[in-house]
């Protein structure tokens, strides 16, 4: 990676976070609607899903900036004493393949460790092959289903181990 990458928490209601979450929903939910409903994702559905995201109790939203430009985001929330859930992972298309997703995932895992979590978990879908490949490369393996719903098809987890020391 030759361009600078900065990852920091951002309020989910900030204009930058809101724009990234809008793109996340357009991409991820848009794919689901085209695949399962054979129609586009509507503005009304987007607004409803965005409101649900605000109410779901996200612990932290990290925003990645590459060369100063918002490049992606990822969320984390505490499920219980041992587990933190990785959620809302998204990288803008122009920044894919530049190391943003692995850096975001590592930052989320470090945050989970700092919270005292010993395991990171996540749920994803079968059609999100790029996401599943990323998680597999980073040591995520299948775990029992811990949430249910139409969008949860694959459940993955990873033992986090101790906090990494920065050099």
pLDDT single digits (tens) 111-164: 999 999 999 999 999 989 999 999 999 999 999 999 987 778 999 999 998 766
Position 67 pLDDT exceeds 70: yes
Position 36 pLDDT exceeds 80: no
C-alpha to C-alpha distance for 23 and 139, rounded to whole angstroms: 27
**CA dihedral sign of residues 141, 145, 147, 151:** positive
Q: What is the pTM of this model?
A: 0.86
pLDDT of residue 135: 98
CB-facing half-sphere around the CA of 67: CA atoms within 13 A: 7
What is the CATH architecture of 5-118?
Answer: 3-Layer(aba) Sandwich (3.40)
Residue pair 118/78 in contact by the 8 Å Cβ criterion: no
C-alpha to C-alpha distance for 141 and 129, rounded to whole angstroms: 14
Give the closest residue to 7 by CA, choosing from 71, 50, 51: 71
- How would DSSP label each residue in 117-135? -SEEEEEE-TT-HHHHHHH
Domain boundaries of the chain, sorted by first residue: 5-118
pLDDT band at 54 (very low <50, low <70, confident <90, very high): low
């Amino acid at each position: 990676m030759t361009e600078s990458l900065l990852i920091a928490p951002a309020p989910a209601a900030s204009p930058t976070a809101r724009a990234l979450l809008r793109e996340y929903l357009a991409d991820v939910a848009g794919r689901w609607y085209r695949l399962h409903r054979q129609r586009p994702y509507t503005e009304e559905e987007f607004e409803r899903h965005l409101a649900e995201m605000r109410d779901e109790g996200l612990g932290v939203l990290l925003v990645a900036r590459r060369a100063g430009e918002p490049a992606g985001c990822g969320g984390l929330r505490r499920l219980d004493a041992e587990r933190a859930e990785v959620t809302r992972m998204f990288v803008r298309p122009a920044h894919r393949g530049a190391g943003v997703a692995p850096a975001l995932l590592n930052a989320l895992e470090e945050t989970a460790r700092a919270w005292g979590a010993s395991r990171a978990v996540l749920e994803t879908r079968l059609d999100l092959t790029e996401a599943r490949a990323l998680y597999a490369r980073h040591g995520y393996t299948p775990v029992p289903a811990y949430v249910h719903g139409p969008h949860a098809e694959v459940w993955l987890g990873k033992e986090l181990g101790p906090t990494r020391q920065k050099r």
